[in-house]
């Protein structure tokens, strides 16, 4: 018979990687083929490695957004370490934040996980697209994306990739 007050609801810790979206806003919504586009996004998955090259996974009971902690007690989100911005020549530019990285005992890898065009239907509705279509839309509307909102791009949400052993 359980003793009330001592029984705990024990959840298992989950291990996972974190990813973030980077949102690119045009100066105004526009038509591309038959779509009325209000923004474009990429989802970027990050991998964090210690100084020995071992991958560090985030851990929590829920798949929460988390910070990286430095030896000096400071902390930051992954998006603080790597900035993504619009660039006219290459379209996407990833730039490490050298100031923060020098305090960091980690190294990072990142890759684009997916691309979306966000359809303007009163609210923005994301639709998955290929990398080629993403680049075609951006290049054909380059003047609309060359604005201060995209330097750097905004990160509005995170996603996770659970790691099972």
How do residues 113-158 score in pLDDT, each as one tens digit?
A: 999 999 999 999 999 999 999 999 999 999 999 999 999 999 999 9
pLDDT at 165: 63
Q: Which of 111, 114, 20, 115 is nearest to 67 (CA)?
A: 20
So what's the pLDDT on residue 74?
81
Report the predicted TM-score, pTM, of the whole model to 2 decimal places.
0.85
The pLDDT, as a whole number, for residue 141 is 97
Which pLDDT value is given to residue 10? 54
pLDDT score at 20 = 96
Name the burial class of residue 18, with classes exposed (0-12), middle (13-18) and buried (19+) by CB atoms within 10 angstroms of its CB. Answer: buried
d(CA 53, CA 80): 21
User: Bridge partners of 68?
Assistant: 76
Those residues of the chain that have pLDDT short of 70 are: 1-11, 165
């Amino acid at each position: 018979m359980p003793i009330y007050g001592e029984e705990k609801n024990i959840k298992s810790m989950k291990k996972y990687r974190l990813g973030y979206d980077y949102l690119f806003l045009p100066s105004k919504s526009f038509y591309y083929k038959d779509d009325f586009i209000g923004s474009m996004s990429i989802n970027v998955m990050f991998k964090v490695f210690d100084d020995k090259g071992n991958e560090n996974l985030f851990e929590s009971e829920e798949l929460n957004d988390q910070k990286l902690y430095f030896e000096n007690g400071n902390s930051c989100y992954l998006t603080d370490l790597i900035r993504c911005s619009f660039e006219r020549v290459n379209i996407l530019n990833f730039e490490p934040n050298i100031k923060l990285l020098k305090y960091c005992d980690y190294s990072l890898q990142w890759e684009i996980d997916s691309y979306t065009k966000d359809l303007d239907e009163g609210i923005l509705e994301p639709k998955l697209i290929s990398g080629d279509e993403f680049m075609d839309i951006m290049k054909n509307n380059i003047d609309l994306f060359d604005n201060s909102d995209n330097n750097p791009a905004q990160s509005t949400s995170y996603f996770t990739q659970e790691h099972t052993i």
